[in-house]
Amino acid sequence: MQDILQHINSVEGVIGSAVFGGRGEVLAHAFPSLIDAESLKKTAALSLECTYGLQIEQNLDILDLRYADGRILVKAFPGAMLCLLCAKNINLQVLFITLNLAVKKLESLLPKQGEPTAAVRQTDAPADQGGAAAALRLRISHLANKEASSSFDSFGMVAISQPTSKYIGDFYKAPFKKLRLVNEAAGTSGTFPVMVMNDMGQQYDGTIIVGPGIEKKLKVSDGDKIEVALG
């Protein structure tokens, strides 16, 4: 992968490049030394959230974030993402030709489905899922309609959108009817039945919707991140 990234970096205007895995891990990178490993890990996690929330693979070819002095490009492809830090005036036509060729080569180098990557083996702690990878972390959210949100509590349930359900199932590679939510900061946890709602707005994708009772039990607030495991 390193040779492919170095080839991408040879395009005029590309400052650095990296390949992020499907769980937000750094598979390979070719960035200047001033960008440390911790910063890359944070970037990988944020890129995963962003590409999932915007459904880039389904709706967009590439994400182009423009800033005053440069731009960040994220190209998603099956099983991974390419992240590039570029100058603001980079020639995108030339870059896209290089990226299309690079993606085909990178796909052939990715670990086969079910095979852990080196990054996962080194950084992911075992979970109580029969050897599955470490638990996913998602944000807490509330429905705007407080009465609807409170109704989940009467059944002791949490809710998720259809895309979120697919994302969790793909992450753990298993079907589920319950989720175990863990607020590590407060030391609280609970296992709850899940209601999958098909008519939710995209703002709820990638979140776990809880009512006030469960919110109080877990000691969480809207926007907090919690660990999500299969119940």
- 29 phi, psi to nearest 5 deg: -155, 155
- Tokens 């296992």 appear where? 191
Confidence at residue 125, expressed as pLDDT on a 0 to 100 scale? 38
Residues 95 and 193 in one domain: no
Residues 8 and 115 in one domain: yes
* Partners of residue 18 on adjacent β-strands: 29, 83
Angle at the Cα of 26 from the Cα atoms of 21 and 28, rounded to 5 degrees: 100
CATH number for the domain spanning 140: value is 2.40.40.20
Confidence at residue 13, expressed as pLDDT on a 0 to 100 scale? 93
Q: For residue 72, give the H/E element and its range.
A: strand 71-77
Q: Are 208 and 226 in contact (CB under 8 A)?
A: yes
Domain boundary, last residue among 88, 122, 156: 122
pTM to 2 decimal places: 0.47
Domain boundary, last residue among 122, 146, 176: 122
Structural domain range at position 61:
2-122
Beta strand pairing call for 158-161 and 80-86? unpaired
* Number of separate domains in the chain: 2
What's the pLDDT tens digit per position in 73-87?
A: 988 887 788 899 999
- Among residues 84, 77, 82, which one has the least CA distance to residue 107? 77
Residues 74 and 132 in one domain: no
- Tokens 């944070």 appear where? 42
Exposed, middle or buried: residue 164 (CB in 10 Å: 0-12, 13-18, 19+)?
A: buried
Domain boundary, last residue among 122, 152, 180: 122
Cα gap 196→24, rounded to integer Å: 24
What's the pLDDT tens digit per position in 100-122?
A: 888 888 888 876 544 444 433 33
Which one-letter amino acid corresponds to residue 136?
A: L
Cα gap 96→64, rounded to integer Å: 12
Cα gap 26→123, rounded to integer Å: 10
Residues 117 and 131 in one domain: no
Q: Are 209 and 218 in contact (CB under 8 A)?
A: no
Residues 68 and 82 in one domain: yes
Cα gap 149→131, rounded to integer Å: 34
Q: Is 190 helix (H, G, I), strand (E, B) or coil?
A: strand
Residues 115 and 194 in one domain: no
CATH number for the domain spanning 66: value is 3.30.450.30
What's the pLDDT tens digit per position in 132-180?
A: 445 688 989 887 666 656 666 677 889 888 888 888 888 888 889 999 9
What's the pLDDT tens digit per position in 20-59?
A: 887 778 888 998 888 888 888 888 888 777 766 555 554 4
Cα gap 137→52, rounded to integer Å: 13
- Among residues 40, 38, 25, which one has the least CA distance to residue 116? 25
Q: Is 220 helix (H, G, I), strand (E, B) or coil?
A: coil
Confidence at residue 116, expressed as pLDDT on a 0 to 100 scale? 40
- Please indicate whether residue 202 or residue 204 has the higher confidence score (pLDDT): 204
**131 Ramachandran zone, left/alpha/beta (phi>0; psi -120 to 50):** left
